C-alpha cells in the first residue's frame, strides 16, 4: 500500500466555499477555477459532499425529469463536430421531416406515466424563421400543451427575430432549450457554421418573449477546465433556468469519434463545480451519462445534479426509464413535481435583451 498525505488546507478551503454558497453567497471566478483544478480523489470527494449539501439545501430531495422527442431528424445544415445529425458527417443516423401530432401526444402520455415533468420537441436544423414551418411547429406545441400532461418545451435552434420567439410563447411553449455548448473561446473548435454570438442573441429574444431558458453544454470535447468554468459563468450570466450537462459520446463518423473520454471523477467534479457556481439552477445530466459514467452514474446527484434527461437521446440509447426511476427511489430522491415554474430561482439581473450581444436591428434572416 502506498499511503498519500492528504492536504487538509484544501479540505478547509472547500468547506469554506461550500458554507458560503449554502449561506446564499457566491464563488468568484478564481475560486471556482481553483475548484475545477482539484486533482486528488480525497479533495474531489470533499467537493462532491458539499455539492450534495448545496443541492439538498436548495432543491430538497426533488429531481426534475425531462424527456425529448426528435421532431425532425438528421440532414442538418450545421457542422457541429460532436453531432450525428450534421449533414457534414457520415454517421448512418436516421433522417425524417417534421413529425405528425400522434407521436407528440404519445410522448406526453408516456411522460405522464413516468413522472416526467417536461417533454421537449427537438429539431435538427439551423433554426426557425417565420413561415409555414413555424405554423406547423406552433401547432405541435399547442397539441402538446393541450394534453395538460407535461410542460411543453422545445429546442428548435437559432432564432433571428423577436416575432418568432413571441409566436412560440403564444402557442404555449414554456421553456426553450438552446445550449451555449462550450466557452466562447472553445466554440469555434466544434462549430464554424454559426457562432456563439448567434446563440447568445437567440437567448435574448427568448427571454424577452418571457420563455424560460434551458441552456448548458457538452463536456469532454477537448476543452480545458478553464473553458468549463467559463461556460458555467456564462450560463449564470444569461440566467439559464435548466443547465443540461452532456458528456461527449464520440459517434463514429463525426470529427470527434476518437476523442479520449473524460474520467468519471473529472465528470463528477465538473458537475459539483457547476453546483457551486449555479446553486439554484436545475443542473440536468443529459446525453452521455451511461456510456461515460457506467456504474457511477447514480453519483451525479451526490455531485449536485437536480435533474435528469430520461428516455432515449436524439441519436443514442439511454438506460430504461424504469431503471432510472428505481435509481432515484434507491437514493431517496423524488421525481414528483406538482408544478414547476422555477419560482425557486432568481433571474440573473445582468443579462437582458438589451445586452450588447443582442442587436435586433442587426439580426438577419438565414437560409
Nearer to ligand SF4, 67 or 85 (CB): 85
One DSSP character per residue, 139-178 reads HHHHHHHHH-SSEEEEE--EE--HHHHHHHHHTT--EEE-
Q: Does 248 bind ligand SF4 (CB under 6 A)?
A: no
Among residues 74 and 279, whose Cβ is nearest to ligand SF4? 74
The answer to the question of residue 246 lying near ligand SF4 (CB under 6 A) is no
Q: How far is the CB of 41 from ligand SF4 (least distance, A)?
A: 34
Q: What is the DSSP letter of 93?
A: -
Chain position carrying cell 438565414 = 366
Other C-beta atoms closer than 10 Å to the C-beta of 336 total 9
- Of residues 10, 70, 86, 270, which one binds ligand SF4 by CB under 6 A? 86
Q: How far is the CB of 165 from ligand SF4 (least distance, A)?
A: 18
| Residue choice 38, 83, 173, 305 for contact with ligand SF4 (CB under 6 A) | 83
Q: Binding ligand SF4 by CB under 6 A: which of 17, 80, 206, 309?
A: 80
What's the grid cell of residue 65? 425529469
Which residue lies nearer to ligand SF4 by CB, 234 or 254? 254
159 binds ligand SF4 (CB under 6 A): no
- The answer to whether 78 contacts ligand SF4 (rule: CB under 6 A) is yes
Size of the site for ligand SF4 (CB under 6 A): 8
End-to-end CA distance of the chain: 63
Piece of the chain touching ligand SF4 by CB under 6 A; list 75-83, 106-114, 145-153, 335-343? 75-83
Shortest spacing between CB 38 and ligand SF4, in angstroms: 31
Q: What Å distances lie between residue 361 and 5, 160, 353, 358, CA to CA?
A: 59, 10, 12, 9
Task: Provide the residue count of the chain.
Answer: 367
Distance CA 278, CA 8 (A): 26
The one segment of 78-86, 233-241, 245-253, 259-267 that binds ligand SF4 by CB under 6 A: 78-86
Please say which residue, 157 or 217, places its beta carbon nearer to ligand SF4.
157
Contact map string, positions 101 to 140, toward ligand SF4, x by CB under 6 A: -----------------------x----------------
Q: What does the alpha-carbon distance between residue 179 and residue 213 come to, in Å, rounded to a whole number?
A: 9
Measured from the CB atom, the residue of 44 and 214 that comes closer to ligand SF4 is 214
Is position 76 an interface residue for ligand SF4 (rule: CB under 6 A)?
yes
Q: Is 251 in the site for ligand SF4 (CB under 6 A)?
A: no
Nearest-approach distance from CB 336 to ligand SF4, in angstroms: 31
Shortest gap between Cβ of 364 and ligand SF4 (angstroms)?
18
- CA 159, 347, 49: angle at the middle one, nearest 5? 110
Q: Closest distance between ligand SF4 and the C-beta of residue 83, in Å?
A: 3
Q: Report in angstroms how near the CB of residue 88 gets to ligand SF4 at its nearest.
A: 8
- Rounded to whole angstroms, the Cα distance separating 318 from 63 reads 18
Task: Return the number of the residue (76 or 180) whose C-beta is nearest ligand SF4.
Answer: 76
Q: What is the DSSP string of 186-227?
A: TGGGT-SSS-HHHHHHHHHHHHHTT-EEE--EEE-SS--HHH
Closer by beta carbon to ligand SF4, 86 or else 318: 86
Helices within the chain (DSSP H only):
8-22, 29-36, 41-59, 101-113, 132-147, 162-170, 196-208, 225-238, 264-277, 289-293, 321-330
Q: At what angle do helices 29-36 and 8-22 cross, to 10 degrees?
A: 130
Min CB(179)–ligand SF4 separation in Å: 8
Mark 199-211 as b/e (b = at least 16 C-beta within 10 Å). bbbbbbbbbbbeb
Where do contacts with ligand SF4 occur on this chain (CB under 6 A)? 76, 78, 80, 83, 85-86, 124, 157
Amino acid at each position: 500500500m502506498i499511503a498519500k498525505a492528504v492536504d487538509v488546507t484544501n479540505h478547509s478551503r472547500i468547506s469554506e466555499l461550500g458554507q458560503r454558497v449554502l449561506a446564499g453567497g457566491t464563488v468568484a471566478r478564481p475560486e471556482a477555477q481553483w475548484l475545477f483544478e482539484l486533482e486528488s480523489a480525497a479533495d474531489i470527494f470533499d467537493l462532491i459532499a458539499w455539492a450534495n449539501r448545496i443541492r439538498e439545501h436548495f432543491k430538497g430531495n426533488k429531481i426534475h425529469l425531462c424527456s425529448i422527442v426528435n421532431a425532425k431528424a438528421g440532414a442538418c445544415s450545421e457542422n457541429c463536430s460532436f453531432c450525428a445529425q450534421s449533414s457534414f458527417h457520415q454517421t448512418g443516423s436516421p433522417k425524417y421531416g417534421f413529425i405528425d401530432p400522434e407521436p407528440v401526444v404519445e410522448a406526453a402520455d408516456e411522460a405522464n406515466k413516468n413522472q416526467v415533468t417536461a417533454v421537449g420537441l427537438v429539431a435538427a436544423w439551423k433554426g426557425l424563421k417565420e413561415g409555414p414551418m413555424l405554423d406547423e411547429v406552433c401547432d405541435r406545441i399547442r397539441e402538446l400543451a393541450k394534453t395538460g400532461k407535461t410542460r411543453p418545451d422545445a429546442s428548435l435552434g437559432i432564432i433571428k427575430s423577436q416575432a418568432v420567439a413571441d409566436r412560440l410563447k403564444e402557442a404555449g411553449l414554456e421553456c426553450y432549450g438552446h445550449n451555449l455548448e462550450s466557452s466562447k473561446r472553445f466554440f469555434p473548435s466544434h462549430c464554424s457554421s454559426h457562432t456563439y454570438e448567434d446563440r447568445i442573441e437567440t437567448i435574448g429574444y427568448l427571454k424577452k418573449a418571457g420563455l424560460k431558458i434551458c441552456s448548458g453544454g457538452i463536456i469532454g470535447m477537448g476543452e480545458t477546465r478553464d473553458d468549463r468554468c467559463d461556460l458555467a459563468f456564462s450560463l449564470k450570466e444569461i440566467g439559464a433556468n435548466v443547465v443540461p450537462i452532456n458528456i461527449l459520446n464520440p459517434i463514429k463518423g463525426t470529427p470527434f469519434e476518437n476523442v479520449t473520454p473524460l474520467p468519471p471523477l473529472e465528470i463528477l467534479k465538473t458537475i459539483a463545480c457547476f453546483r457551486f457556481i449555479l446553486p439554484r439552477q436545475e443542473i440536468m445530466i443529459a446525453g452521455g451519462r451511461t456510456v461515460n459514467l457506467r456504474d457511477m452514474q447514480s453519483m451525479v446527484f451526490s455531485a449536485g445534479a437536480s435533474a435528469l434527461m430520461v428516455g432515449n437521446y436524439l441519436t443514442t440509447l439511454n438506460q430504461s426509464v424504469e431503471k432510472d426511476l428505481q435509481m432515484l427511489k434507491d437514493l431517496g430522491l423524488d421525481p414528483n413535481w406538482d408544478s414547476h415554474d422555477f419560482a425557486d430561482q432568481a433571474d440573473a439581473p445582468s443579462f437582458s435583451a438589451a445586452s450588447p450581444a443582442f442587436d435586433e436591428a442587426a439580426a438577419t434572416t438565414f437560409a
